[in-house]
Amino acid sequence: MWIRRPDDLKSSEITDEKLYIDRRRFLLTAGIIGASGAGLLACDNEAQANGSADAAGGSAQDPQDKINTYEQITSYNNFYEFGTDKEDPKQNSAGFHPQPWTVRVEGLCRKPGDYHFEDLIKPHKVVDRTYRLRCVEAWSMVIPWQGISLAEMIKRFDPQPSAKFVAFTTVMRPDEMPGQRRPVLRWPYIEGLRMDEATNDLTLMATGLYGKPLPNQDGAPIRLIVPWKYGFKGIKSIVKIAFVDRQPETTWNIAAPDEYGFYANVNPEVDHPRWSQGSERRIGEFRRRRTLMFNGYADKVASMYAGMDLRKNY
């Protein structure tokens, strides 16, 4: 399925985002593509139901969340393995080699092993999911991902009942990832989810965006997408998945536990010490908009946190 890397593609060869959306809507309406294309229209319907409001005046915005351009999505990134500035990942990732790729599965599961990327993806249906991404730094994007349902992938590994959490680890290649040569974080990068979060219908293991393979700066060849959480939970370039019985230590929680909680649920009522979470700036827009609880996905995920103090479990 994946033949050419984004590095080999000219900008003129990348489908314009409006044409991409219109084409998929036409195919879905015509019945030419099935459920895998439904995510695009579902996002529009969901945005209409949960439409965020303008932070200044509180008036409802257009019900359709405008999808960010390919250029915006691939040029403004947090990926500290390639540098701490937003432009660093694109500038510094050309020498990264995402193929061949192997993911190790270990821990409390009945089917551990080293899975080559193609074998990891092949048994599963690739789906389209257009999700809002909200970063703790109070900026956001809307991105058309392609990937595999993490819940379906987890079923394949047959976790044991004692597995309560899933931990993920990013590749460690300081020769290709210059950010790893500096001790700005404890490397390699580690993130984790509770099992019910990992198996939620929204959680995705992304392998592409805009119908193309993931660019290096966006987490090639496989990364985690958890749309109701802040962006730092979306670990990139994953090489290990471990099923564990205790909450795993995670990179940003180790670095600054008073700023980056394990759960990292988008919550406009709990501010980061350096950034208000009540509003956000959508990349490509001038005016700020009000941030939605759970990033607008409350109807799908709020029940998982019933009874929890979301100020304590931030």
Residues with Cβ within 8 Å of residue 296, at least 6 apart in sequence = 46, 47, 50, 52, 132
Residue 299: which pLDDT band, with cuts at 50, 70 and 90? very high
The overall average pLDDT reported for the chain is 86
Q: At how many degrees (to 10) do helices 17-30 and 38-50 cross? A: 100
Question: Taking the domains of the chain in order of start, what are their residue ranges?
Answer: 6-305
- pTM for the model: 0.83
Residue 226: which pLDDT band, with cuts at 50, 70 and 90? very high
Residues with Cβ within 8 Å of residue 122, at least 6 apart in sequence = none
Q: Is 200 helix (H, G, I), strand (E, B) or coil?
A: coil
Summarize pLDDT for 22-64 with one digit per residue, the tens.
Answer: 555 545 444 444 433 433 333 343 333 333 333 332 222 344 6
77: tokens are 């990134």
Cis peptide before 188 (omega within 30 of 0): yes
Residue appearing with tokens 């100020």: 311
Q: What are phi and psi of 282, to 5 degrees?
A: -70, 125
Please report, in angstroms and rounded to a whole number, the separation of the first and last CA atoms in the chain.
Answer: 39
Q: Is 7 helix (H, G, I), strand (E, B) or coil?
A: helix
User: What count of other Cβ atoms lies within 10 Å of the Cβ of residue 141?
Assistant: 21
Distance between CA atoms of residues 279 and 53, nearest Å: 10
Please compute the mean of the pLDDT values over residues 154-167 and round it to a whole number: 98
Summarize pLDDT for 161-204 with one digit per residue, the tens.
Answer: 999 999 999 999 999 999 999 999 999 999 999 999 999 999 99
In the chain, what are the helix, strand and coil shares in percent, each to the nearest 5?
30, 25, 45
Residue appearing with tokens 């005016």: 287
For the domain spanning 6-305, the CATH number is 3.90.420.10
